[in-house]
Structure 1
């Protein structure tokens, strides 16, 4: 059986294990053998039978009504993003015919926009691939270049990890946003590749992925510990790209006339500064023709 065929059951089980009895008004009686809520408690609070809820978790019933799913979302204390994700899982049966992977392309207008912006900005794909980035973004992080992946870099690249003083918080948000972005389209080869690689390479990723947290991909305030300018607090915006489902324009900007604004300008100036050309090696070494005795200095 395909391991992704019971996504609804996996999600319900993971989320109920994170809800404490006290948080939903149930008394704590005796020693509990399972974390979070029991199945029968979820069923009781949602107003459905325990047997029906068991069938949902086990994948034996794939067509719950919207009303049942919304009741479960309330019991499991899901926010709007989590509720929307749960409703999507409930409407995903029977499984859709597997589609060919969707190629993600950079719209010409977005490429021009990136080149015109003075703030760090890049185009992010559904699986958090960097599809395009401008020079200020690369100054902010050398990993912000086309062809890199934000999940892989933040989890596996020590230099990228060092940028985030609140790394655990950053990774939790990243994984929750990744799950929301992919949704139920888990037959995507890119998704399968990334989850497999990160699950093997990162214990932190494995733990976060097992929680089934869901969070909308949206703006936030981020603090970085940059090796050149030190602590840097920026506003991060994530803007939908019209006509390109799943693609977001990610832009960083500082509060105007703040220290962070000055640091960001300084970083951009580093990136724009001309590089000193490497010295011509032929002008600084001796060329030997034949035996060592035939060595002679070269002239410029």
Structure 2
């Protein structure tokens, strides 16, 4: 179980990483070309935030407690944090976790029906652990993998990206630079869900498994990047139709105390939509 002291260590390392990423010129500081300090110095941040260097140093070392929300907001402004990153900072500073819905573990009949209704658009339902709870027939055609044939603990979006070559081709992330970029994004998305359930043993076990399986994921997780869930444009390699440009929409599904998200992939061209539709119906008729 994480303690409040652990949280302040995370806050300190998070602020340090963000400080080292800021270009001094962005905040009006001219630095000598001979300076070897990456980003801003601690005294720069303290001066911009109008707090003492000693106090800020204690915050970065995880030795400060009881830092007010207003001070954290000022530091967030100085370090150019986005809203998701500021919420992460606040969540760590609180003594207790925010109340969060439990991740859905089993797909309901109603959710499965919803998946089927959006055929021929590929769609899947996934929980906060990134476990894939269910997919429709179009998604199976899309990725070329029958997820139902995999063991339950392998039906995880991130685990597949780390271990399954066919899934990597689908992403596509079948070369190291692309895989690094994908896992960095996945680590950031996972942290955005983890921050409100830091003492969830299932969640923490998933993270440790991913870190043990992939040095790339471990490095990405340790950067404490926080990524929001956006409607994004993607390229995915359709198992039958090749590379395809798609827009992914994310819909949240809440039922009683359970939470899951519903991802639907839309082709960006009418030609690709027609190809998806034709392929889907040809397989249904077989």
Match of 1:186 among 184, 188, 198: 198
* Contact 2:103-2:258 within 8 A present in 1 as well: no
Larger Rg: 1
Identify which of structures 1 and 2 has the higher relative contact order when contacts are C-alpha pairs closer than 8 Å and 6+ apart: 2
> How far apart are 1:110 and its partner, in Å?
1.8
Q: Deviations over 1:219-247 (max 9, x none)?
A: 11110123421111111011111335542
* Contact 2:237-2:244 within 8 A present in 1 as well: yes
TM-score after normalising by structure 2: 0.82
User: 1:137-216 to 2 correspondence within 5 Å?
Assistant: 137-143=139-145, 145=147, 147=152, 148-163=155-170, 164=172, 166-216=178-228
Pairing 1:240–2:252 present: yes
CA 1:184–1:8 in structure 2 vs 1: closer, same or farther (change >3 Å)? farther
CA 1:184–1:60 in structure 2 vs 1: closer, same or farther (change >3 Å)? farther
Segment drifting more, 198-207 vs 151-160: 198-207
CA 1:40–1:136 in structure 2 vs 1: closer, same or farther (change >3 Å)? same
> How far apart are 1:254 and its partner, in Å?
1.7
- Rounded to whole Å, the distance in 2 between the matches of 1:24 and 1:144 is 51
TM-score after normalising by structure 1: 0.79
* Contact 1:237-1:252 within 8 A present in 2 as well: yes
> How far apart are 1:250 and its partner, in Å?
0.7
Query: What runs of 5+ residues in structure 1 fail to find an aligned partner?
Result: 275-300
User: 1:6-85 to 2 correspondence within 5 Å?
Assistant: 6-29=9-32, 31-85=34-88
> How far apart are 1:149 and its partner, in Å?
0.7
> How far apart are 1:248 and its partner, in Å?
0.8
* Contact 1:111-1:132 within 8 A present in 2 as well: yes
Query: What runs of 5+ residues in structure 2 fail to find an aligned partner?
Result: none
